[in-house]
Structure 1
């Protein structure tokens, strides 16, 4: 076996993949960890196991076995993750760590790509030295350049004048009726927490308090607050965290409705005949859709008048401090679920969130990822199965599924998702660009937010997602046409 002369004594980290020993130059090794919780990236190359939160930094974690020894079947779960430097920090999943060891490299000319044979000086045997940058470049040939990453993120505020004039509202159901609050007064929408501590003598509307990010959030039943009959919260109940009177208050509603974006002439003031004798908790009445369904817009300033429950001063101070530190730089996202994973999309590109209708018209000769088309107030809207778009098997039909209508880059489509769970307002400093290990980025994930519990929330670039979907539909249609005519569409 041809070899060159030794290249000098160095220090290495020896690890195992299957039954084979490999080594990394100790100079590129930063630390060793037990396997962290991973966020899967749909559509990414197989070698990308997922993304992890490393002390506030989004870390791509690669399965080193799939890069170096793709022929091996995993015998056991990896026991360690090596944090190494490969132009940027990466995590490497390995079967086992042997030791740090001194050794002298000797290069063989017929070794596998990306490896060099080296002998360990202490007599423990030999291991192949991994050329990590070469391996990463070979496994992820389509990695985006850092210079390009900076221009991928168009600000949410970049909308045309017509869109900017629209009135944005978050709607919800309470006691069988539709209500809404201005979008800028809603901090987030959460599932009803399991642990609610009751507060004695706090009033009929007060359900109690719940912990939220180190503070105490008061929870009020919106039906009871409005003087309506308040049934016990069901499985669809949500907490609308609203900024009322300079503090945050949780309004418990029956279910979350769509995000409404209405022309100004669709919003009317409350008729004077209804407001005689005092103020009302309703600021305006808006008309939605061709049928003119009415939604009452609540007054965030007057809703709590006459109640004794407000947010705690500590919670209010925390909110003020956070706003002072970030200069008000926040971004709201709608969170949807796919196959047990959560994804966010900027609220500025979400036109509506719809329940799945009983009938979806199948389009002839359309690819499998297109579920069909629906009529939305006189407009035909294509519906894309986001599971199939991410390369996942189709999900079960149930009442939680929703259609998220996105509009960006001149394109509009409905995404069929497993559910829409909440809406979050994120501080700008918790959002980072996604590591560029996700192949051609057709999944649209371009940023990642670190949540308070340490988990990661991938944020979808709607323009890239819709453009990628359109390309996939065209390619699938071309393939279907090729099969019909008996020709090769790639030729």
Structure 2
């Protein structure tokens, strides 16, 4: 990898007097290459053997609860690369990254990148030319340097930094850590022991078609993706079949649920349309809906058989049942995944899937056993994931919450969730992010810890995704809080995305859990209106 860095570094015909002439350097038994670069007005250097490569500033995923010197995480050919600001590490003010800015990737078992203002050249010097000289360090801490290369008259001194010493204060965990194993998430304490009534509730994914809300059993949902901008049409498709798209190198047929239910086939392309990927036998089919809403867990007593009149529409699908929510004010049509298509349409869709060379990518056996499902939510421009198994439900943010005096800043208040008081934690505040002004898409992720429910307010819920084991890796340890809460990342190289995977068991530490338990014991039920 050092050869790539040598090729990427800019060379120069001029050399400092301390550098050996080209002919002598070729015969010199002990010499080093130094990558010379600039930060602000300083000329700094790194030994070439420390450098893996030099790249342009990449797209970054922001990591919360990290030291300010961490700019974010980048996807470097499948490797998660922490990128640090050398300006901030040295305590210098920020400056806008110009066209000359580069990231020097440091060659380690767990590599990291340093953002610098510019690359000057590659310099070959005798080893004894890199001398210890505290006075030559200038305003820099001499402890950060391997030494200095003194310039001749009219030339600046080059200060050779040691990358591990740069990390000793803010990133000690990062500098000492090798690649970590991507261990699975811990089970939320008590979640496995939910009461019997909770275990028998039906998990549903609700969505909109026009002004009506419908739902499908969550257990049949493999994932949820945004409607692709381009759908490839297929010869002589069924009326409801829109075409096929590629989902992680496999063909996925798309079916219009509007057509199946006999609605006008007006495909909604407002940016909110979603594809619900359903398991269908040994294959998978994408069902296009206007927008997804919530993940619900419903008491079977609130589900009634659908009136016969609703099963006699013009479409192929039938409404299997009606869910009565919010004391009957919210009626949700429950569809059966097995009865979603008439039998002849099922066979044709699956036959078409096989003819197009699609492999049943979501089979019950095989590699799918190692897959994990996550609810993906957003805070600002960053994606986060929580295991589906840890989510009790996903609800809309309440119009108002009851504020609690003397509560920690990250506690938004408490809300009434079907007769039970539930504290709401604002994840933006918990992660020390700026406040969100746009609140229309906010959702509350409800986690059941066994002793009670806690809601986590997020900007939006974007998708449900199934990730193979090879896409999940250990997150770099940049701080103790981050390492405990976010110790895995999903690196989707094909999409250029990094999803930070949250361990739900660590979402509240012991002190915060005690605070929430105190609020639960106060039981301010009488002061709360029913939602």
1:343 aligns with 2:384: yes
- Unpaired runs of at least 5, structure 2: 1-29, 520-531
Displacement of 1:255: 2.6
* TM-score, normalising length: structure 1: 0.81
CA distance in 1, matches of 2:73, 2:145: 26
Alignment of 1:10-409 (within 5 A): 10-68=32-90, 70-74=91-95, 76-77=97-98, 79-86=101-108, 88-103=110-125, 104-109=129-134, 111=137, 112=141, 113-119=143-149, 125-141=156-172, 153-154=185-186, 159-160=192-193, 162=196, 167-197=202-232, 202-228=237-263, 232-233=267-268, 235=270, 236-262=272-298, 281=318, 291=328, 295-305=332-342, 306-307=344-345, 308-310=348-350, 312-313=353-354, 317-320=358-361, 326=367, 328-408=369-449
CA distance in 2, matches of 1:436, 1:442: 5
Structure 1 residue aligned with 2:20: none
Partner of 1:364: helix, strand, or coil? coil
Partner of 2:167: helix, strand, or coil? helix
CA distance in 2, matches of 1:394, 1:134: 35
| Cα 1:199–1:175 shift into 2, 3 Å | farther
Q: Residues 363-390 of structure 1: CA distance to partner in whole angstroms, max 9, x if unpaired?
A: 2233443222211101111222222222
| Cα 1:91–1:174 shift into 2, 3 Å | same
| Cα 1:318–1:472 shift into 2, 3 Å | farther
Displacement of 1:221: 2.0
1:470 aligns with 2:503: no
| Cα 1:327–1:394 shift into 2, 3 Å | closer
Displacement of 1:287: 5.8
* TM-score, normalising length: structure 2: 0.76
CA distance in 2, matches of 1:72, 1:241: 48
Structure 1 residue aligned with 2:4: none
Displacement of 1:19: 1.2
Displacement of 1:430: 0.2
Q: Residues 37-58 of structure 1: CA distance to partner in whole angstroms, max 9, x if unpaired?
A: 1111122111111101111111
Which stretch shifts more, 137-146 or 77-86?
137-146
CA distance in 2, matches of 1:117, 1:88: 25
| Cα 1:26–1:274 shift into 2, 3 Å | closer
| Contact 2:384–2:499 (CA under 8 A) maintained in structure 1 | yes
Which stretch shifts more, 114-123 or 335-344?
114-123
| Contact 1:248–1:315 (CA under 8 A) maintained in structure 2 | no
Partner of 2:481: helix, strand, or coil? coil
CA distance in 2, matches of 1:97, 1:471: 49
Structure 2 residue aligned with 1:486: none
Partner of 2:369: helix, strand, or coil? coil
Partner of 2:389: helix, strand, or coil? helix
| Cα 1:265–1:181 shift into 2, 3 Å | same
1:456 aligns with 2:498: yes
Q: Residues 201-260 of structure 1: CA distance to partner in whole angstroms, max 9, x if unpaired?
A: 534423344443344433222132133455542644321111224322221123313223
CA distance in 2, matches of 1:469, 1:282: 47
Displacement of 1:411: 6.0
Q: In angstroms, what is the RMSD of aligned CA positions?
A: 3.8
| Contact 2:283–2:362 (CA under 8 A) maintained in structure 1 | no
- Larger relative strand fraction: 1
| Cα 1:243–1:105 shift into 2, 3 Å | same
Displacement of 1:327: 5.0
| Contact 2:187–2:505 (CA under 8 A) maintained in structure 1 | no
Q: Residues 167-200 of structure 1: CA distance to partner in whole angstroms, max 9, x if unpaired?
A: 4332323354443333332121122222234557
| Contact 2:39–2:118 (CA under 8 A) maintained in structure 1 | yes
CA distance in 2, matches of 1:81, 1:325: 40
- Unpaired runs of at least 5, structure 1: 1-7, 478-491
